[in-house]
Amino acid sequence: MTVTSAPPVAADPAAPGPPLVAPGRRRRPGPADVVLLVIAAFFAIPLAWVVLASFDGEASLAVAWPSAPTLDNYAAVLNTDTTFRPMWNSVVLCGGATLVTVVCAVLAAYPLSRYRSRASRPFLLTIVFATGLPITAIMIPVYALFVQVNLVDSMPAAILFLATSALPHAIFLTKGFMDAVPVEIEEAAWTDGATTMRTLWSVVLPLMRPGVAVVTIFTLVQTWGNFFVPFMLLLTPDKLPAAVSLFTFSSQYGQVAYGQLAAFSILYSAPVVVLYLLLGRRLGSGFTATGGLKA
């Protein structure tokens, strides 16, 4: 009688390894957890100060619970000159720049993603270099150029410059998301007689909605918090966005009103937080739909 042994089965490198912690048992906190908690505290302390100081009528730089919580700080800043007009200017400036950036990024990323040429790689390397270029390094010559062409204090010119400065990063992100869309679906649309622009609008963009949402959020956050560009290019106080108004708000008094400054900071941050919450739900469902399509 001959006994044959089964050949050894090679381990699957993709298979998950044994769990680090047995089921039902809690992992003991280690030094890495302590370090992460300390880092989280450094981020949480300024946020806690903003929230608490906005309800404190006698707020200072100390992080303290208000002795008599009040809404007087919000009532003091909720007026046209302090909040409403700067916020509207921010919506026009940053919303316009974001719209221009997303449209141009989609149109620029499509040929980079679908067509191959000798200029594609140098162009992409140029884009990557431009993403790391600090905007403060070019603001002095840009300001001189705006003075020569008489575009200083022009809101459309400021929108176009903000869009231009955000465009390299947006193209880089958009191309990455567009590469994940299968080309076979576009080929089927071309067979049915669709043009290139029709295919881009009706086939590619619906499949990369998560990517468009990510580019929109990143661009809006980048432009919403930009202080230096509108501070240099816009001179009329009625055209200044909230990012610059925040600076003038803290310096127009001899003594800084920290409570009103904190209340204005919360109102200034609210639109970005709301946009992130609204688009964050679409991100999850969109990534799921894209994964199912690729499978």
- Put residue 193 in one of left, alpha, beta given phi > 0 → left and psi -120 to 50 → alpha: left
pLDDT at 100: 96
32 neighbors 52 (Cβ within 8 angstroms): no
**Residue closest to 242 by CA, chosen among 54, 82, 76, 50:** 82
Q: If you ran DSSP here, which 8-state letter would residue 252 be given?
A: S
pLDDT in tens, 166-187: 998 899 889 888 888 888 888 8
Contacts of 123 (CB under 8 A, 6+ apart): 112
Helix (H) or strand (E) holding 227: none
Confidence of residue 1 (pLDDT cuts 50, 70, 90): very low
Q: How far apart are CA 154 and CA 118, in angstroms?
A: 39
**Residue closest to 98 by CA, chosen among 215, 238, 186, 210:** 215
Residue 26 has pLDDT above 90, yes or no: no
pLDDT at 24: 58
Q: What are the residue ranges of helices labelled H in 132-257?
A: 139-148, 155-179, 183-191, 196-199, 205-207, 209-224, 228-233, 242-251
Residue 3 has pLDDT above 80, yes or no: no
% of the chain with per-residue pLDDT over 90: 19
Residue 146 has pLDDT above 70, yes or no: yes
pLDDT at 185: 83
Instruction: State the average pLDDT for the chain.
Output: 81
Q: What are the residue ranges of helices labelled H in the chain?
A: 31-54, 72-77, 85-114, 120-131, 139-148, 155-179, 183-191, 196-199, 205-207, 209-224, 228-233, 242-251, 258-294
Mean pLDDT over residues 213-226, rounded?
Answer: 88
Query: When comparing pLDDT for 125 and 110, which is higher?
Result: 110
pTM of the model: 0.77
